[in-house]
Structure 1
């Protein structure tokens, strides 16, 4: 029997890509609301309570309101693609490679990671757990994303008018992803985050520069790479590249969707300075692909079912 799935916010970029990944899959039966119903609270409430799984592709406040619409007797399991519940008590962080597939599979309330935190945490969290990087280091994150990550308003800005070649933002040093990065990496300090947008539709590069020789433990870049390879050895959506393969990374205007993530450790000749880099699709592993990966696990299916594999 097919599981009933309701995508609340199905008309947005993330919701549309989730629906594409679920199209034609017999394991799921999508509950669809027409244009007149999708913003009607009564229709949404009925759909949320009728679903076996609800995926929230909403602004943060709307996501909280959607959760509050569930009846006390509802058995609906939630996957929230917003940032509303990523550090909230009672919610499982939906990064299976980090928190464990069993934890996600058993959870009722799952919060999918943000796109930038996916890159940062994939690189840093395993190395802190292994004791190779210190939890009290002042980490910085430099990142660029395709403009689809900014939602409909930014997409329209890039596709209907003169598009900026480079759009840096977040100069108030506040960003909704900061608590998520700190909490799930186990850091003592917030990261210093420098995000930007470039004129490609999808894709992102997240970089963490490290002066390894200045750290008390003085880890070597090779040890970091080896640890990441070991940590993700059984992760089908994560590729850790060996050293010396390239001297540049690109984001292409015509990039196809991908639900995987690539990790790199670049280093100087002595190995005491390093640039940890993640490249991923902000709409794939950074959003829609991650939500479907969590849905697969929660439904007892192979985690890669319906995904665009690397």
Structure 2
């Protein structure tokens, strides 16, 4: 028996990559709405009614509206709208207990791209008591421009966007609430993201000023935390970190950088549209329909 899946917003960057990961699978039947009716509430409601799982690849407001249309259809929401909302399961399978919770849930909020890297770096240290809850974390990162949506993609394709720029400079990035919630932080972190002139790829860094933990201890903590995570590897620090090294995959690599003593940074490298979006959505879908977690990935 196959699972029926409707991708609401399949024409966007995340939706297209989810579809590419699913369309060759014989355990999934994709349900689509004619292109002329993609904004029709009636057509979308009918698609949700015919589906076992709906995947929302929409802006926040549209995602909230889609949930109302979905009825009893199980939902994976790739927007920011429900990531810390009551009644929603946070869709980051690497967190403790998350796989069982996702498998049993009817409402899963897919983790965000920057949040994937940030929480992946923070949560193991918090769970191991290597950082206190009130630690004021400093996070930086750079992503490919596809993370900025259609408007930013159009700027880069037109050649009008800068090669590199900082954004959310008011320390108000939309991923901060989920980073705090699932990174188990009680104090708002400093978080400064940037965009580079390449389509996909991401590096997130946690700068551990004042943390009383050695590089060797960090490597042990991360290795233990991700021992059973099929898509996360703890690797030795290379001389150069490439943000595009894992493009097209659902993998994430964590490295301990610095001098091994008083200047330590840890990094997470991933594809912002893969592990940071479409890949994890498929991973969550696999858990929800009882497929192998790595299917299609």
Query: For the superposition of Structure 1 and Structure 2, which TM-score range results when normalised by the shorter chain?
Result: over 0.9
Instruction: Give the C-alpha shift of residue 255 in structure 1.
Output: 6.8
User: 1:170 maps to what in 2?
Assistant: 168
Compute the displacement of 1:49 (Å): 2.1
Tell me which of 267, 291, 298 is aligned to 2:281. 291
Cα drift, residue 257 of structure 1: 0.6
SS class of match (2:150): helix
Tell me the residue number matched to 2:27. 27
| 1:256 CA displacement | 4.1
Structure 2-normalised TM-score?
A: 0.96
In the alignment, structure 1 residue 79 sits paired with structure 2 residue 76: yes
> Residue by residue, what CA displacement relative to the aligned partner does 1:96-125 show, whole Å, maximum 9, x if unpaired?
111431111111110010000100101111
SS at match of 2:254: strand
Show the counterpart of 1:129: 127
SS in 1 for 2:238: coil
Look up the SS of the partner of 2:64 in the other structure: helix
Gaps of 5+ in 1: none
Out of 174, 177, 180, the position equivalent to 1:179 is 177
Shift of 1:205: 0.4
Instruction: Determine the C-alpha separation between the residues in 1 that align with 2:29 and 2:11.
Output: 17
Q: Determine the C-alpha separation between the residues in 2 that align with 1:251 and 1:280.
A: 7
Aligned-pair CA distance for 1:32: 0.7
Equivalent of 1:224, from 210, 218, 221?
218
Query: Secondary structure at the residue paired with 1:144?
Result: strand
**1:210 corresponding residue in structure 2:** 208
Q: Is 2:248 the partner of 1:251?
A: no
What RMSD, in angstroms, separates the aligned Cα atoms of the two structures? Answer: 1.4
Q: Give the TM-score taking structure 1 as reference length.
A: 0.92
**Separation in 1, partners of 2:80, 2:109:** 8
Corresponding residue number in structure 1 for 2:295: 305
Moved over 2 A (4+): none
* Matched-pair contact (CA < 8 Å) for 1:221–1:272: no
